[in-house]
Amino acid sequence: MRLYGYYRSTAAWRVRIALNLKGVRVEQRARHLRRGEQRTPDYMRLNPQGLVPTLEFDDGTALTQSLAICEWLDETHPAPPLLPDDALARAKIRAFALTVACDVHPVQNLKVLARLRSLNLPEDEVTAWARWAIQDGLKACAALLARASGPFCFGPAPTLADICLTPQLFNARRFGVDFAGLERLLEAEAACAALAAFADAAPERQPDAE
């Protein structure tokens, strides 16, 4: 299997964590997002959105969308689980993951910020936009954990929620988010950082890191 990604893409980063947790080795192929390598015709045949990540099988089958890839991994490589067995607990964890993956990340990704710049928005307002999207979402994420025990987002082991949280906190720091009230999220991040599966997935450890 080949994983098309970019060292700093938080969506590709999620899949790297999930693959590491499952012990699945893949060949990494970088697509440099700032050079537009994700928009070439060849790549867009694999991923019609022109985004990373894409997981390509040896027979040419391509899976897109980080959460769909993580769920596929969890269904085909059940141990260790990314989601528990109980349906209600699964729904809570998925809601946390989707809060990041739907309502935070896409509103502050490279593509949206580039569109804002194309509207002649000054750079400080572009940064403020990203900070707004992340701050608002992470505040909700912290509230979603109000009744969940630590040290990870939902208990004693990492789940799909932690897989989404760690990369998003990296972006939060890039854009100067205020972490007051987000201590529970930082606690989960610290628990994750102690695991090789998370540490090895970090941007600076990727072959295409700059």
Q: How far is residue 101's CA from residue 65's CA, in Å, rounded to a whole number?
A: 10
Whats the size of the chain, residue-wise? 210
**Omega of the bond prior to 158 within 30 degrees of 0, cis?**
no
* Least gap, CB of 108 to a second copy (angstroms): 10
Whichever of 125 and 178 has its CB closer to a second copy, that residue is 125
What the block records as the tokens of 157 is: 């082991």
Whichever of 50 and 150 has its CB closer to a second copy, that residue is 50
Helix (H) or strand (E) holding 54: strand 54-56
Q: What is the DSSP string of 105-166?
A: GGGSSHHHHHHHHHTT--HHHHHHHHHHHHHHHHHHHHHHTTT--SSBTTBSS--HHHHHHH
Whichever of 30 and 93 has its CB closer to a second copy, that residue is 93
* Least gap, CB of 199 to a second copy (angstroms): 26
* Least gap, CB of 178 to a second copy (angstroms): 17
* Least gap, CB of 206 to a second copy (angstroms): 22
List residues binding a second copy (CB under 8 A).
44, 48-51, 61, 63-65, 67-69, 71-72, 75-76, 87-88, 90-92, 94-95, 98-99, 101-103, 105-107, 112, 115, 119, 121, 125, 129, 132, 137, 139-140, 143-144
Whichever of 106 and 150 has its CB closer to a second copy, that residue is 106
Q: How far is residue 76's CA from residue 23's CA, in Å, rounded to a whole number?
A: 12
